[in-house]
A and B are shown apart, each in its own frame.
Chain A
C-alpha cells in the first residue's frame, strides 16, 4: 500500500513538473492551437467547394476543414512527448531521474499523462473554435466527438511513445512527427476527402488518422453515435496500445539520447 502511495506520489510529481514546464513555455500551446485554427480558416473555402461538389448542399466547409485539421495536428503530440523525454537528456536531468527512486513506468506515465491532457485541450479548442467561429454544425452528439478525441489522443500518444523509444535524437522525432503528420494526415483526407485520392484508400486505412477522421465526419454528417463508432474506438485504442507496446519493449532508461538540435 505504501509503495503504491509512493508510486502515485512520484507520478503526480512528474505531472506537476510537466505542467510547470508547459506553463513556463506557453508559446508551445499557442502554436499547437493557433496553427490548426489558421489552417481551418485557410482551408475552409476550398473544403466548401469540394463538399458542395460532393453533394453536401448545406455544408459550409468547416465539416471538412475542422476535423481534418484536428486529426492532422493531433500528431503534434508525438513531438511534444519526444521533447518531454529528450530534453531531460539535454538538461542532464535524465541521470538525476535514473538515480532517483522513480521507476521507469512511473516516468513514462508521468510524462505521457500531461501530454495526453495537452492533446485533449488542443483538440477541444480547435473543435470549440470550429463550432463558434466557423459555424460548424454537428448532427451527432458532442460526447461522441469528445470520446473520439480521447481515443485519437491515445493513439497518437502511443505512436509518440514508440518514436521516443526508437529515435535517438530530438531531430529524428521532430522530423518523423512533422512529416508523419503531413503524410498520414494527407493520406487520411485531412486536406480533402479521401475518396478523391485514387488508390490511396487502402494505404490510408493503416493510419489512425483516417479512422478518426471518418468517424468524426460520420458524427458531423450522419449523426452517428457512440455505438456506431465502437469499431473505430477499438481500432484507435489498438493503434495506441501497439505503439505503447513497441515503446515499452524498446524503451531503455540507459539509452543515450541527443536532446539538442
Chain B
C-alpha cells in the first residue's frame, strides 16, 4: 500500500535521508521514531508530495507519488506536525470543506463528519469556531480532517504534540480502529510509549536511514534490557557514576536526590552485586526501581550501536 525505496533528500550539503526503504501494509501501523532532526518530517513530507525527493521511489496504492502526486493524494490523509485548520470557521465547516475537496458526496460527507467527530469526542464542539477550541480539541480536529475520507494511507506527524492525556488516548484509540479497518498508518513521533500503546510495528529512523524495522515487541525483546533506577541522598556515588558512564546508559540529575539508571541482565542478581560493591555508600540509597525493557531503551541501544558502527557482539563486549 505504501512503498518507499531508496529515498534520498539533501538540504544544501546536508543529507537528511540517505536511502530510506519502508513498506507499510494495509492495516499496519508503523511507529516512525527518531530523534529531532532524524528526518521524520522530511520523509512524511515527501510521501505527501510537499517536498521533492532527490532520488528514490514512493508508491501509494500503486500510484507513483513522486511522478503523479495529485493522483496519490486521493489515497492519502495527512496530519502534519502543525495544526492546519481555519480558526475563524467552525469545526464542522473545516471538516465539510476538506471533505468536499476529497470529493465526499453530500450524504456520505455528513455521515463521515458525524462518525469521526463522535469517535474523536468532537461532537459537542463542531459548531464552535476553531479559535475557541482548546489545544487538545484542535489536535483531534486536525487528525479528524486527515481521517475523514478513509484514506488508504494515513500519515500522522507528531499528532499528539501539546495534546492533553484525554485527547491523546482518544486519538490513539481512533488510529488503532482506523488501521483495523484496513488503512496503512505511519505514525511519526518521539513519544515512545504511544508507539507501544498502538501495538504496531516500529521503524527507527536514525541519521537518514531506517536502522531497525519490525514488530514493536520483537524490537524491544531483541534490543532492550531491563534496568534498575537507584536514588541516593546527595550525589550518586562516584564509582557508580563512573560505572554508569562506562556503560554509557545511565543518567542522573545529581541534586539533592541523585538518580542513576543502570541496564542489567538479571535484575535481582545484578542489583545485589551493585549494593555489595557500593559498600558504605549503600547507606545513602533511598529507593530502588525496576524498569521493564521498553522501546525507549531499545531505541537508545540501537542508535548507539549505529553510532559506534560495531556489530552487536562487539558492542556488548565493549560496554
Binding site for B on A (CB under 8 A): 6, 9-10, 12-13, 16-17, 20-21, 24-25, 91-103, 254
Nearest CB on A from B170, distance (A) = 21
Chain B interface helix/strand/loop/mixed: loop
User: When the two chains form their complex, are residues A24 and B78 in contact, meaning their CB atoms are under 8 A apart?
Assistant: no
Q: Are A16 and B97 neighbours in the complex by a CB distance under 8 Å?
A: yes
Given A24-B129, A99-B49, A101-B73, are A93 and B100 also a contact pair (CB < 8 Å)? no
Top 6 A-B pairs, shortest CB-CB distance: A13-B100, A92-B84, A24-B88, A99-B78, A92-B82, A96-B84
Residue contact B88 to A98, C-beta cutoff 8 Å? no
Residues of B participating in the A interface, judged by any CB pair closer than 8 Å: 48-51, 70, 73-74, 76, 78, 80, 82-89, 93, 97-98, 100-103, 129, 145
**Known pairs A24-B129, A96-B78; A102 contacts B101 (CB<8 A):** yes
CA distance A100 to B73 in the complex (A): 5
Known: A254-B50, A254-B51. 12 other contacts (CB 8 A): A9-B100, A13-B97, A16-B97, A20-B97, A94-B84, A95-B48, A95-B50, A96-B145, A98-B48, A99-B48, A99-B49, A102-B101
Q: Are A93 and B86 in contact (CB under 8 A)?
A: yes
A98 touches B83 (CB 8 A): no
| Residue in chain B with minimal CB distance to A9 | B103
* Least distance between A101 CB and chain B CB atoms (Å): 5
Contact residues of A: prevailing secondary structure: helix
Are A99 and B88 in contact, with the CB atoms below 8 A? no
Residues of A within 8 A of B74 (CB): 101
Inter-chain contact B98/A20, CB cutoff 8 Å? no
11 residue pairs A–B, Cβ–Cβ below 8 Å: A6-B103, A13-B97, A17-B97, A21-B86, A91-B86, A93-B84, A98-B50, A99-B73, A101-B70, A254-B50, A254-B51
B100 touches A16 (CB 8 A): yes
| Smallest beta-carbon distance B130→chain A, Å | 9
Q: Beyond A21-B86, A91-B84, is A101–B101 a contact (Cβ under 8 Å)?
A: yes
Do residues A100 and B50 form an inter-chain contact, with CB atoms below 8 A?
no
**What's the nearest-Cβ distance from chain A to residue B107, in Å?**
15
Is A95 a contact partner of B100 (Cβ separation < 8 A)?
A: no
Would A10 and B84 be within 8 Å (CB), given that A98-B49, A98-B50, A99-B78 are in contact?
no
Contact indicator B93/A99 (Cβ below 8 Å): no
A12-B50 Cα distance, complex, nearest whole Å = 24
Residue in A closest to B84 when the chains form the complex, CB atoms: A92
Q: Which residues of B contact A91 (CB under 8 A)?
A: 84-87
User: Is there an interface contact between A96 and B98, defined as CB atoms closer than 8 Å?
Assistant: yes
In the complex formed, the residue of B with least CB distance to A102 is B101
Please give the distance in Å from B276's CB to the nearest CB on chain A.
Answer: 57
Q: How far is the CA of A9 from the CA of B109 in the complex (A)?
A: 13
Could you tell me the distance between the alpha carbons of A13 and B96 in the complex, rounded to whole angstroms?
A: 9
Bound-state CA distance A96–B102 (Å) is: 11
Residues of A within 8 A of B102 (CB): 100-101
Residues of B within 8 A of A92 (CB): 80, 82-85
Q: Is the CB of B98 within 8 A of A99?
A: no
Q: Collect the chain A residues with CB atoms within 8 Å of residue B48's CB.
A: 95, 98-99
